[in-house]
Amino acid sequence: MVWHEQVDTSVVSQRAKELNKRLTAPPAALLCHLDEALRPLFKDSAHPSKATFSCDRGEEGLILRVQSELSGLPFNWHFHCIPASSSLVSQHLIHPLMGVSLALQSHVRELAALLRMKDLEIQAYQESGAVLSRSRLKTEPFEENSFLEQFMAEKLPEACAVGDGKPFAMSLQSLYVAVTKQQIQARQAHKGSGETQASSSTSPRGTDNQPEEPVSLPSTLSEPEYEPVAASGPMHRAQLVKSKRKKPRGLFS
């Protein structure tokens, strides 16, 4: 389960006053301090956070308590978390992780292409008479399929050892941030284009872009418009056409 909390600056200020009577700081400074306190949790354990954490799970949600110092004074903070919706988890976890996976796949393809180019370069040196002075550095030409088969058989178990998740956080954190920023920019661009199309579709269609004046239609129309035609024939069709060409009395007046 994923827990989250989303509040505005007024809630941040009010909660800070309730938990820290002697401390006064703007919301931006409080959030910056919380970021500094939480960030070491996602980095190397050699540099642990100076803050202490505890959590309690109740009927209404999860409360994460943070105890630290800010400007030499004790600073306490409580996160009142609730279960995240599936759409929120998809937006912040699933989609970014899928983007990270696609970026890594593209990275692997680029490296494979680079290795093939290096093999062609070495082959050109050998054909021109170059000889490797240190035989221990000699390598076989790169075969991508053979490499993938060997990786799946020998390296996959070690590569999938997630553990506490810190190796992922340390090595791929920058890539995750870059992918998240790219997805946010793409959503903003898509939203902007949608608003532009909506505004253009609702704009007036007049030649001078002036709003159309309201038109009051009369309660009754002229007699020929509602005159029934009981029979067909040239004479009746001529009368019908003639009646339609007559300008209705009072319409658009």
Mean pLDDT confidence for 189-210: 60
pLDDT of residue 189: 86
Measure the CA–CA gap between 67 and 240, rounded to whole angstroms.
Answer: 89
Kindly report the length of the chain.
253
pLDDT of residue 50: 82
The strand order across the sheet containing 73-83 reads 3-4, 73-83, 62-70, 52-57
Measure the CA–CA gap between 90 and 97, rounded to whole angstroms.
Answer: 9
What the chain holds in terms of domains, given with CATH numbers, is 3-84 (2.170.210.10), 87-191 (1.10.287.450)
Q: Residue 99: how many CB atoms within 10 A of its CB?
A: 17
Measure the CA–CA gap between 92 and 84, rounded to whole angstroms.
Answer: 10
Q: At residue 10, what is the residue type?
A: S
Residue 43 DSSP label: S
pLDDT above 90: residue 207: no
pLDDT of residue 200: 58
Round the average pLDDT of the chain to a whole number and report it. 78
pLDDT of residue 161: 75
pTM value? 0.60
pLDDT range class, residue 230, cuts 50, 70, 90: very low
Measure the CA–CA gap between 22 and 122, rounded to whole angstroms.
Answer: 70
Q: Which residues of 228-242 are buried (b: 16+ CB within 10 A; e: fewer)?
A: eeeeeeeeeeeeeee
pLDDT above 70: residue 214: no
Tens digit of each residue's pLDDT (9 = 90 or more) over 152-185 = 999 888 877 767 666 666 678 888 888 989 888 8
Rg (CA), the chain: 36
Token pair of 11 as six digits:
């809630």
> H/E element holding 2?
none
